[in-house]
């Protein structure tokens, strides 16, 4: 009797095979003449060569289904074990679906500019996505990164953002460096938790397949074979932005997101994002998408809040301009 070993990678065998191997038993029921035994992440099969070939082909479909949908039910197994099971999997092209999240939830680009972001990332190796809160810049970028990882277009995901306090003091936060920085990186964790099962996500972070780190940790590195996202880029300085952009390796994808209305840099410190947008506007291979209120997909109040703040900012500018003109007129009168 011939024997083969199949190594399972990128999937938690306990999730794939179910409680007490219930799903594995269901898979085995389709191959009664084959001996199947699981130990850790290695599956040992023994039997006729043709039957083993068929088992490997079907098992590959199950793995692909799990990678795509983060889920595998007994009904899925039944369908994929059919003669046209591969056709069923391949026909589900999910043209508007970026990635399937937990419990098979479909994560899609929902607005015109989110779709434009997807198109730009497909065509360019470096893309800037700029817009106000709630436009899905970070979420869409993370979904694209997870899609690239699942499709094996990259070997890892690197998520980074500058650790700039928004009115708080980093030094007074409790804990070690990681514990101090984690609150700043929480939006990235939140997005990942929607798309990758918790245990699998923990393993991917532990083994460096997904890396979440502050911008300062990027210095001196070459980021290659990776999908890299710089979030909150409006809080980078010119030198930090240049440092980050020049980390790009030969086979990397970079997405830079930011909101120019939420700059937390010290007063009179220019934003590196603003500088980069001006400098790279016409550079081939660089895509830029500017999102607006029409792209806000949070609570309807968010749009109203953004609109109210924009109007208040405009009114402040007009008042300042008016005061300048009045002071200029007074100076002129005094000279007379």
The residues spanned by each domain of the chain are 2-91, 97-297, 299-336
Record the pTM.
Answer: 0.62
**Cα–Cα distance list, 327 to 317, 320, 331, 335 (Å):** 15, 11, 6, 12
Q: What average pLDDT score do residues 120-149 get?
A: 92
pLDDT at 265: 87
- Per-residue pLDDT band for 213 (boundaries 50, 70, 90) equals confident
So what's the pLDDT on residue 109?
83
Residues in a beta bridge with 227: 157, 253
**Fold topology of 97-297:** Rossmann fold (3.40.50)
Domains 2-91 and 97-297 in one fold: no
| Residue appearing with tokens 């703040």 | 309
For 6-21, what is the mean pLDDT? 85
Quick check: 168 pLDDT over 50?
A: no
Q: Parallel, antiparallel, or unpaired for β 106-108 and 156-161?
A: unpaired
Residue with tokens 């595998």: 72
- Tokens standing for residue 175: 């804990």
Kind plus residue range of the DSSP H or E element containing 119: helix 112-123
**Nearest-CA neighbor of 277 among 233, 215, 218?**
233
Architecture of the domain made up of 2-91:
2-Layer Sandwich (3.30)
**Does pLDDT of 306 surpass 80?**
no
For residue 252, what pLDDT is reported?
95
Tell me what the pLDDT averaged over the chain comes to.
Answer: 84
Buried b (16+ CB within 10 A) or exposed e, 284-299: eebbbbebeeebbeee
């Amino acid at each position: 009797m011939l024997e083969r070993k199949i190594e399972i990678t990128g999937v938690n065998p306990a999730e794939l095979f179910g409680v007490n191997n219930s799903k594995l038993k269901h898979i085995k029921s389709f191959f009664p003449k084959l001996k199947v035994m699981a130990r850790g992440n290695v599956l040992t099969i023994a039997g006729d060569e043709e039957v083993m070939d068929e088992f490997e082909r079907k098992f590959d479909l199950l793995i692909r289904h799990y990678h795509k949908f983060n889920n595998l039910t007994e009904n899925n197994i039944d369908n994929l074990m059919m003669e046209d099971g591969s056709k069923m999997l391949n026909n589900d092209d999910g043209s508007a679906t970026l990635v399937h999240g937990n419990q098979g939830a479909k994560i899609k680009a929902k607005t015109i500019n989110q779709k434009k972001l997807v198109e730009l990332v497909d065509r360019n190796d470096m893309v800037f996505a700029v817009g106000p809160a709630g436009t899905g810049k970070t979420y869409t970028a993370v979904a694209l990164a997870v899609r690239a990882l699942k499709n094996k277009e990259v070997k890892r995901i690197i998520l980074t953002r500058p650790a700039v306090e928004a009115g708080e003091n980093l030094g007074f936060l409790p804990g070690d460096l990681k514990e101090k920085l984690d609150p700043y990186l929480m939006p990235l964790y939140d997005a990942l938790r929607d798309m990758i099962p918790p245990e699998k996500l923990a393993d991917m972070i532990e083994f460096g397949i997904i890396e979440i780190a502050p911008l300062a940790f990027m210095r001196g590195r070459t980021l290659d074979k990776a999908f890299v996202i710089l979030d909150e880029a409006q809080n980078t300085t010119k030198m930090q932005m240049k440092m980050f952009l020049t980390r790009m390796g030969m086979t990397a994808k970079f997405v830079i997101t930011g909101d120019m209305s939420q700059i937390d840099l010290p007063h009179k410190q220019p934003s590196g994002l603003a500088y980069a947008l001006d400098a790279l506007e016409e550079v081939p291979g660089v895509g830029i998408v500017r999102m607006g209120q029409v792209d806000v997909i949070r609570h309807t109040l968010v749009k109203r809040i953004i609109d109210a703040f924009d109007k208040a900012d405009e009114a402040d500018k007009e008042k300042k301009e008016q005061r300048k003109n009045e002071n200029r007129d007074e100076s002129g009168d005094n000279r007379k």
